[in-house]
Chain A
Amino acid sequence: MKKFLRFGAASAVVAASLGMSSVAQAQDTATADAFAEILTALQLELDAGSKLDFGSMVVTGAGTVSLDADTGALNCTAAGIVCSGTTETATFNVTAGSALKDVTITFDTPAVTLLRSGGVIGTAADELELTNFNSDAAFITDPMGDYYEVTLGATGLATFEVGGDLTFDGTELAGVYQGSFAVSVEYS
């Protein structure tokens, strides 16, 4: 469980347990005039070295390539697309002071357009779509729109994976396509 400290008096002594692996507790050995306020902290990290990686593709026709965050499996069955190389879903670590709490995960945009490096915006052969962001987090159905949520574990930590779909129209030129996607953790 991650706790965060701020101390009100100069005589407060911070014990070295701060921020260490599991339980960060305040061992406040200060005298009576000190006050310590424990703040719960919320952390979001992209797991070290992790990235959303579809490997490489040779495209001769239209189709979709999907990365399933639940299984990590790549679905590349479209006739006009040949996939190769290693693939990976993006791994995020969220940590907060409150164990056993549910937090909402949202993908801010339903679709992202990726542009070929050196390509021209608005040119079909230079663009492709990244859509259907999915996660291995619990999928909650809601009349107002389905969503994902993770429950912070007993130590206040939760990990979730993010995958998605690439949609090709078959005209894309070879090259590196770049873009960004947004992931938010909403604390209530």
Chain B
Amino acid sequence: MANNFSRFISVACAAIAAFGGILSAAPAAAQGDLLVAPTRIILDGRRGTEVILSNIGSEEATYRIELELRRMTATGQLIDVETDDANELEQAALAMVRYAPRRITLPPGQPQSVRISARPGAELPDGEYRVHMSFRAIPKPTPVTEAPEDSQGIRIKLVPIYGVTIPVIVRHGRLEATVAISNPQVAEGVRGPELRLAMVRNGTKSTYGELRVTRPGSDEPVFLARGIAIYSEVAERAMEFDLTPEQAAAMKGQLRFEYREMPEAGGAVIASVDAVLG
């Protein structure tokens, strides 16, 4: 297993290095650009996995990897939660997820994997535990700037510190969830026509999938939104999707709304509803 794994990693790295090489041939990117794969991690507590971090910028960069907490709101926003404000579930999640390394310096085009695993305690109640792993470049100290040409003026030098977070979900025990789609409608929003609906989730597990809107007798969706997560702290998610005028025009009459697992996860229907829209 260990052998297979290391071979797996080395081949993966070679492939990624080639990938990075192609990218860095593009016009000079800034220091701190990054690529993270995969974009969601689901652990069952038995086996670990790894996340690949690659420097796709044009300069060497040091990245800091941290575990953070987020809570999803009813509109789907991910709100930062300070460790001091963490509830029991969140504290347990932080305590059980292990990862290394926590700081990586990478030359341009270079990937490295971060090992991650979860060790839920034996007495831990069944449930879904989640942290968000953040990857962020640490800016290099800026050299002392020369005096501005116009000595009367004020100039501003801003360094963006930017990064991404991805969810790390630990599923412990037997979990299930059901979802119902309610009240789909097309309405006029601030930016134009919008599809609005709510998804009501029940159970102990989060769900992840795509929303497909189809007309009877057609498999081709008139509207598709992917990667819709409803985390376990959310009982009902209100959703608004911007529509093109064509999509809005097509969303009339008899329609079928389906929330399905992502195609790579099997595409099973999680929830569906038939509705007639004016």
Contact = CB atoms under 8 A, between A and B. Distances in A.
Interface string A27-52: 00000000000111111111011111
A96 B39 contact: yes
A131 B72 CA distance: 25
B37 A182 contact: no
B115 interface: no
A99 B226 contact: yes
Contacts of A168: 154
Interface string A47-88: 011111111111100000000000000000000000010000
Contacts of B277: none
A169 interface: no
A46 B160 contact: yes
B78 A186 contact: yes
Q: Which of A12, A42, A55, A188 has the most CB of B within 10 A?
A: A188
Q: Give the size category of B's interface with A.
A: 35 or more
B29 A184 contact: no
B2 interface: no
Given A42-B39, A100-B226, A58 B152 contact: yes
A148 to B, nearest CB: 10
A101 B225 contact: yes
Interface residues of A, number: 81
B37 A40 contact: yes
Nearest to B7: A10
Contacts of A144: 73-75, 77, 79
Nearest to B154: A57
Contact of B166 (A42, A104, A140): A42
Given A186-B78, A187-B40, A181 B158 contact: yes
Interface string B171-192: 0000000000000000000010
A157 B39 CA distance: 14
Contacts of A90: 158, 160
Interface string B15-47: 110111011001111101111111110000000
A106 interface: yes
A157 to B, nearest CB: 13
Interface stretch (B92-100, B140-148, B195-203, B249-257): B140-148
A172 B156 CA distance: 12
Given A5-B15, A177-B154, A41 B39 contact: yes
Contacts of A20: 22
A130 interface: yes
A8 B77 contact: no
Nearest to A145: B79
A186 B144 CA distance: 33
B227 to A, nearest CB: 3
A42 B52 CA distance: 10
A135 interface: no
B60 interface: no
Contact of B38 (A4, A10, A49, A51): A4
A38 B240 CA distance: 30
A10 B15 CA distance: 11
B164 A174 contact: no
A101 B227 contact: yes
A90 B166 CA distance: 23
A153 to B, nearest CB: 11
Contact of B164 (A50, A147, A177, A187): A187
Kindly list the 10 A-B residue pairs having the minimum CB-CB distance in the complex, ordered from nearest.
A101-B227, A6-B12, A41-B37, A4-B37, A188-B229, A98-B227, A46-B30, A45-B33, A39-B37, A56-B153
Given A45-B29, A48-B27, 7 more contacts: A56-B150, A56-B153, A58-B152, A101-B225, A102-B76, A114-B158, A138-B242
28 contacts: A39-B37, A41-B37, A42-B35, A43-B35, A44-B33, A49-B28, A52-B160, A54-B156, A98-B39, A101-B226, A102-B76, A102-B225, A108-B80, A117-B157, A144-B74, A144-B79, A174-B154, A175-B147, A176-B145, A177-B154, A178-B157, A180-B139, A181-B158, A184-B136, A184-B165, A186-B70, A186-B132, A188-B78
